[in-house]
Structure 1
Amino acid sequence: MDYKLFKLEFLNGVRFGKGNLENTEITFHADTLFSALFIEALKLNKEKKFLEYVRCNELLFSDAFPYKGKQYYIPKPMIHYEPVKNDKRGNSEEKKRFKKMKYIPQEYLKSFIKGEFPEEELKEEQKFGVHSMKVSVGIRGNEEPEPYRVSAFHFQEGNGLYLIVGYQKTEAAELFETLLDSLSYNGIGGKRSAGMGRFEYMEDRVPDDLKTNIQKESKKYILLSAALPEDQEMNEIIEKASYNLLKRSGFVMSETYAEQQMRKRDLYVFAAGSCFEKTFTGRLIEEREGGKHPVFRYEKALFLGVDI
């Protein structure tokens, strides 16, 4: 499998995650990307080919992670970290800073594993942008106007999100880029009708050490996409694993699925950053839940190898 990296530079604010108007995350998960790309594929009559590539593991993609300038960040691995002691100040302050971090620069992965994470990185606040809050007023018929707050995140200039895309065939990579291009005009995440989530994208070279670690066999593997193994694999996969579970839910974004908007069933998956001794493929789950057509949920795994 070969790999590409795409940088997304957002033109306005973004709204991801949380499910309410007053909170937002700064990144989105691979299943959100899949759903958005599938809608674009339907518009272009390319949904069958897109599903075929994903089902056959000829096309994989990561969650979206932040970048700052030319520096790419990965989720902080759920591996025990014991910082090298500093006799002058101890390491309690360092531990507090480190605990708050959600991402680490990918080039410092080896240092992190050794407990030698650069002190200057801990001192530098991981600020990729700023949160904002806007007060709007909802008016329904003759009812009293009701104010509500809508939050958004705005990336600073030169910062944004990136995706790692794995592909077996050039045609699969080309289809992904076609769908990504279509998506860039419509946006991803919430409040797209207000212009949020639209982006420009560019392909960049996958850093050599990152590409090497994705491809190599290792003692531990860091998950780069929210994913779920098959039921029969579960006991073996979680043995000696360190992981967080992520609840995935939301509404079916289809006008033809049912007469009224319906929720997807709740699903608990492994979060990016979870660490395992064995890899797994993951699933493309097909659900109907009373709707007129199936709904597909992307829970495929992309891993980054690391030696401990």
Structure 2
Amino acid sequence: MRVEIFKLFREGHILLHIGLRRMDRTSHLIHSDTLFSALSNSLFKIFDENKFNEFEEKLIISSVFPGLRGPSKDILFLPMPNIPINIDDERDHKKYKRFQWISWNGLKELLKYYDKDSEIIYLKSTGNLKPINSKFLISIEEYEELKEFREKNENIIFMETNLEPKVAIPRVPTSEEKKQGLYFQENLELFSIESSTGKKLMPFLYFIKAKDDTLNQFIPALNLLIEEGIGGERSTGRGQFDYYEKDESEIPDNGDLEITLSLSLPRREEVDNIIYFNLVKRDGFIYYQKPTGYRKKTHYKIGEGALVKTPYIGQNMDVSPIKDMRVISYGKSIGWKFS
């Protein structure tokens, strides 16, 4: 399947705050419905709402994942699939349970060991896969290419969370001091790694988009999005980018199984196709050109990295609590197919 890859870059550190219904917690990825909402709000500011129906109908996107730009090529990461992994060595077994991300080449290698009968990955040897830290797994070829960046430290750590002290002040001033207080806000930070020879590993974020004919609407919306930012705390520079690059690539589109790469809401006839999955709760307030004060209908979606049988398309849904305000939550699936 031919897809477009949009890579988001920032000079210096990338800072994000993607709320998890609490200011002191942040998500480690931007879900596809959050990306869709940000693009839609940008679209409304540039075009009229009549453009939105076509945009919603045709747009198929993944969630936003991390990547690394090395001296010779980019390494793109995807969520580790929710498939049980069986390894003879108990130490390796525990280690693999902690991995959260795997490179494209690493995923291709991992899925070679999937056993259809037991629906489990029997990883007899881990020699073709190497960790760069406790959360990221790559192929042995990519590991060798990053050799000079492991001279100072065996672990290459380019993504971490940090805590920032904040003071809570009520919107309506009162004399009750207990309503004010210190708390720590969690942010996600991606930063460059430099080798002893001066070469750099530059982190970025990217998402996948199925090819369609909405580019005349999509590109202006994306240009505005990277200026205004995505997620929370945008007024302090969180979620903002300096530029993007567009590439094209192929992802596997043949096979009767699929690893999902977006938050998805299965259609009724697709529920039985889901094999392994995590449920993700979605709610929050509606931003419709400005804060509305209305809460979205609480709903649950299938998380990224789920194993499903094809066909698996998913669907968008209206999560508005009132009739005269249509609010779409993105739930279509784009996936990595295999047999």
Residue of structure 2 equivalent to 1:242? 276
8 Å contact 2:63–2:263 — kept in the other structure? Answer: yes
Residue 93 of structure 1: how far off its partner (Å): 1.6
Distance 1:255 1:67 in 2: 31
Corresponding residue of 2:199: none
- 1:94 paired residue number: 92
Q: Tell me if 1:72 matches 2:76.
A: yes
- The residue that corresponds to 1:122 in the other structure is 131
Equivalent residue number for residue 9 of structure 1: 9
Instruction: Report the CA distance between 1:301 and its aligned residue.
Output: 0.7
- Between the aligned partners of 1:4 and 1:50, the Cα distance in structure 2 is 20
Q: 1:80: Cα distance to partner?
A: 3.3
Once the 2 structures are TM-superposed, how far is the Cα of residue 59 of structure 1 from its aligned partner? 2.1
Whichever residue aligns with residue 229 of structure 1, its letter is P
The separation in 2 between residues aligned to 1:63 and 1:137, in whole angstroms, is 32
Cα distance change, pair 303–39 in 1 and its aligned pair in 2 (3 A): same
Is the alpha carbon distance of 1:32 and 1:225 closer, same or farther for their aligned partners in structure 2, counting shifts above 3 Å?
Answer: same
Which of 216, 234, 251 is matched with 2:285 structurally?
251
| Change beyond 3 A, Cα 1:136–1:296 | same
- Asked whether 1:138 is paired with 2:168, we answer yes
Alpha-carbon shift at residue 21 of structure 1 (Å): 1.2
CA deviations 1:110-145 (Å, max 9, x no partner) are: 321222444762363333322221112234434434
1:279 CA drift (Å): 2.3
What is the SS of the residue equivalent to 2:286?
coil
Residues 12, 110 of structure 1: alpha-carbon distance in 2 compared, 3 angstrom cutoff: closer
Once the two structures are overlaid, the 10-residue window that deviates more, 137-146 or 183-192, is 137-146
What is the CA-CA distance between 1:206 and the residue it aligns to? Answer: 4.0
Structure 1's 118 and 187: CA in aligned 2 closer, same or farther, altered over 3 A? farther
How far apart are the structure 1 equivalents of 2:169 and 2:44?
34
Aligned 8 A contact 1:228 1:282 in 2: yes
Decide whether the 8 Å contact of 1:111 with 1:117 is kept in 2: no
Which region of structure 1 is more displaced relative to structure 2, 248-257 or 104-113?
248-257
User: In the aligned structure 2, how far is the partner of 1:120 from the partner of 1:112?
Assistant: 8
Match of 1:33 among 31, 35, 41: 35
Partner of 1:160: 204
Distance 2:235 2:102 in 1: 33
Give the deviation of 1:255 after TM superposition.
5.9
User: In structure 2, do the counterparts of structure 1 residues 119 and 23 end up closer, same or farther at CA, with 3 Å as the change threshold?
Assistant: farther
1:299 to 317, 331, 335: 331
Distance 1:18 1:305, change over 3 A: same
The answer to whether the Cα contact below 8 Å between 2:256 and 2:311 also exists between their aligned partners in 1 is: no
> Which stretch shows the higher mean deviation, 99-108 or 115-124?
115-124
Q: Is the 8 A contact 1:4 1:203 kept in 2?
A: no
The corresponding residue for 1:20 is: 22
Per the alignment, do residues 25 and 212 of structure 1 end up closer, same or farther by CA in structure 2, a change over 3 Å counting?
closer
Q: Which SS does the other structure have where 1:205 is aligned?
A: strand
- Report the number of matched residues: 287
Distance 1:75 1:81 in 2: 15
SS in 2 for 1:13: strand
Q: Distance in 2 between the 1:139 and 1:223 partners? A: 41
Q: Distance in 2 between matches of 1:66 and 1:24?
A: 15
Report the AA paired with residue 28 of structure 1. Answer: I
- CA-to-aligned-CA distance 1:267-304 (integer Å, 9 cap, x gap): 11111100112222211212431264111111011011
* Residue 88 of structure 1: aligned partner: none
Verify the 8 A CA contact 2:254 2:337 in the aligned structure 1.
Answer: yes
Pairwise CA distance, 1:52: 1.0
Contact 1:6 1:201 in 2 (8 A): no
- d(CA) in 1 for partners of 2:49, 2:22: 30
Whether contact under 8 Å (1:279, 1:303) holds in the other structure is: no
Report the structure, 1 or 2, having the larger strand content. Answer: 2
- Counterpart secondary structure, 2:294: coil
Question: What is the aligned-residue identity percentage?
Answer: 26
What one-letter code is carried by the residue in structure 2 that aligns with 1:82?
Answer: N
Structure 1: unaligned runs, 5 residues or longer: 86-90
CA displacement 1:211-241 (0-9 Å, x = unmatched): 141xx22031111110112224323x23xx1
Q: SS in structure 1 opposite 2:276? A: coil
Distance (Å, rounded) in 2 between the aligned partners of 1:257 and 1:195: 19
Indicate how the Cα distance of structure 1 residues 110 and 12 shifts in structure 2: closer, same or farther if over 3 A, else same. Answer: closer
